[in-house]
Structure formats: C-alpha cells, structure tokens
Amino acid sequence: MTTLRAGVIGWPIAHSKSPVLHGYWLRHYGIDGSYERIPVEPGTLPAFIADLRTNGMRGVNVTLPHKVAVMDLVDDVAPEAQAIGAVNTIVVQPGGRLRGSNTDAFGFLENLKSGAPDTNFFSGPMVVLGAGGAARAVVHALAEFGTVRIANRDPAKSQWFVERFGRNVKAVPWEQRAEALRGASLLVNTTSLGMSGHPPLDIALDALPVRALVHDIVYAPLETDLLRRAMARGNPVVDGLGMLLHQARPGFSAWFGRDPEVTPELRAAVLAT
Ligand code: ATR
C-alpha cells in the first residue's frame, strides 16, 4: 500500500499549525500517511495546482495568500466556498479532478456546538465584530440561523456582507458596537484586536445579556481580554483554537479515510508548538 500524502500550501508557510494537528491524527490513528508543509510562491501557484492532478497527493489545505486565487484553478468549487469567496481545502478526485471547498464555517459551528453544548447561541440576534476574511465564514455560518449584526471599523466592508448574505445581515456602525449587544445571544470577535502584539478589543459589555455566548476567533493568546471580561460577568465563552482544529476534520477525512476527533490531547499538542 502506498503512503497517503497531503499537505498545506501557502507563502509564507512556516507558521502553519496544520502539520502539527494532521501529524497528531496520523500517529493517533496509526495511518500510513504524511502531511507536508509546502511553500508555494504566488507565481508558481498555477503550476503547483496543475501538478496536483497527477503527482499522487490526495489533496491540500490552502492558506494565505492563495485562498481566493485557487478558486479559478480547480474544477469544482463547493457552494459554501463560493458563498464565502475562498477555498481552504482541495481534494483530488478520481481522474485528477480537483474539488475546492471551504471548511471554516463548519469548523466555526462545530467549535461553538462542542464548546458550549448547552447554549442556544442563535436564539437571538448574533453580533459579529470585524468584516475581514475570517468574518466571511462566520457570517455565512450564522446567517442561516437568524439575524446577524455586523460592526466593522470600515463600514464599506460591512455593507459588502449585507449585499452578499441578504436580509438576515444588518450593518451597525463601529461606534455603536456596544449598543448592538442589547438582546444578543452571541458575540463573536473576528477582528485582529486582542491578538498578541495588537491592542485589546475595546467594547463595553454592559448591554450584553449574561446568557449570551462570547467567542473570540483569536487563539494567541487563548484567553483574550474579551474572554476574560466576559467570564468575569458570567457569560459562557468559547476560545478560538477549536475552530482551527475542527476546520481540519473534513480534509483529513477525505484524504486519509477517517473522521478524526478533536480531543483535549490534540489541543495540548497544538498549544505546545
Ligand atoms: P482576517 O482575514 O483574519 O479576518 P483581516 O482581513 O486583515 O484579517 O481583517 C482584520 C479585521 O480586524 C478587519 O475587520 C479590521 O477592520 P477594517 O476592515 O476596518 O480594517 C479589523 N481591525 C484591525 N485593526 C483594527 C482596529 N485597530 N480597530 C478596529 N478594527 C480593526
């Protein structure tokens, strides 16, 4: 039997945690497989993708800056990837056809469901802060369930979400982000505020119901100032590491034939790197 091969492409790629988590699963399940970190310069992306059809790999994860460019290079783009406007997973199919999908919305929802199983986070309006790449997957996932209030420093970017995702998405001025929390059942930070080396997220939480779930997609540090303040007032919280772990599951399952589990041991292994 030949070794099953997959990997992650990006430029730069040294920081990617994907090899750690796929490597953990391969060892844990005793699968004869490999998952490589593959640096692909933007100019060589078309050649790499063409090669992928015949080079024996099962597929790849795609990270910055290639998530949008690969959409034009694969044969099929799954509906959710189309809606999000980015591909993060490519599966090589029989005959060398390439299918691109986006597993970020899945990873986001799975993380919330497993991190806060008793919280009905879509029972009321859901507030999303930020309107960058990560927000697209988050809003795509949430708009299916109900009303999303999106607030971003640059209002033109929030407006893009209203146009793309329709009536369920309402744009809120960044200055009114604290008032937007009134009656909310979920608050998600998708901005880079709170990340190591960035300023903390500046938002008063007084209007947020204490039952509302608070989630930060930032996972370095794991416990952001936002999560700390939310916990101190009694809100349930879910940290951002689980989104990274759960979004990897569909790719692993397609390439290596097993739906892997997200466990405390996996979290620890990824945090230790
Ligand atoms: P990602 O793809 O991870 O979402 P991004 O596309 O660079 O990253 O988006 C970063 C987000 O953080 C954006 O919503 C950005 O707001 P703008 O669209 O107005 O730039 C937000 N952000 C970054 N620094 C910020 C700051 N100092 N105040 C408010 N929002 C900030």
Residue 130 Cβ contacting ligand 1 at under 6 Å: yes
Q: Is 52 in the pocket of ligand 1 (CB under 6 A)?
A: no
C-beta of 88 in contact with ligand 1 (< 6 A) = no
Contact 127 CB / ligand 1 (< 6 Å)? no
Q: What pLDDT, on a 0 to 100 scale, did the predictor assign at position 207? A: 98
According to the model, what pLDDT value does residue 4 have? 97
Q: How far is the CA of 98 from the centre of ligand 1 (A)?
A: 32
Cβ of 192 closer than 6 Å to ligand 1, yes or no, is: yes
Which residues, in sequence order, are bridge partners of residue 150? 128, 171
Q: What is the pTM of this model?
A: 0.96
**CB-based burial of residue 28 (10 Å sphere; 0-12 exposed, 13-18 middle, 19+ buried)?**
middle
* Catalytic choice (17, 67, 113, 170): 67
Q: Is 67 a catalytic residue?
A: yes
Burial class (CB in 10 A: 0-12, 13-18, 19+), 177: buried
User: Count of alpha carbons within 13 Å of 42, Cβ hemisphere only?
Assistant: 6
At the fourth CATH level, which superfamily is domain 4-102+248-271?
Answer: Leucine Dehydrogenase, chain A, domain 1 (3.40.50.10860)
Sequence-ordered list of residues with C-beta below 8 angstroms from that of 187, at least 6 positions apart, any chain? 126, 127, 129, 181, 208, 212, 213, 214, 215, 230
Residues constituting the chain: 273
Residue 187 CA to ligand 1 center (angstroms) comes to 16
Atom 16 of ligand 1: nearest residue by CA position: 153
Q: CA 141, CA 123: separation in Å to the nearest integer? A: 14
What's the gap in Å between 14 CA and the centre of ligand 1?
Answer: 23
pLDDT at 156: 97
Q: Where in the chain is the domain with CATH 3.40.50.10860?
A: 4-102+248-271
Residues of the chain with CATH 3.40.50.720: 105-242
131 touches ligand 1 (CB under 6 Å): yes
Class of domain 105-242: alpha beta
Could you tell which of 152, 192, 196 is best to mutate to test the pocket of ligand 1, judged by most ligand atoms within 8 Å of the CB? 192
Please tell me the distance between residue 191's alpha carbon and the centre of ligand 1 in angstroms.
Answer: 5
For residue 1, what pLDDT is reported?
A: 65
**33-39 β-sheet, strand order:** 33-39, 4-10, 59-62, 89-92, 98-101, 76-77
For residue 137, the CA-to-ligand 1 centroid distance in Å is 15
| pLDDT in single tens digits along all 273 residues of the chain | 689 999 999 999 999 999 999 999 999 999 999 999 999 999 999 999 999 999 999 999 999 999 999 999 999 999 999 999 999 999 999 999 999 999 999 999 999 999 999 999 999 999 999 999 999 999 999 999 999 999 999 999 999 999 999 889 999 999 999 999 999 999 999 999 999 999 999 999 999 999 999 999 999 999 999 999 999 999 999 999 999 999 999 999 999 999 999 999 999 999 998
- The CA-atom distances, in angstroms, between 61 and each of 89, 93, 107, 191, 268 are 4, 15, 14, 23, 22
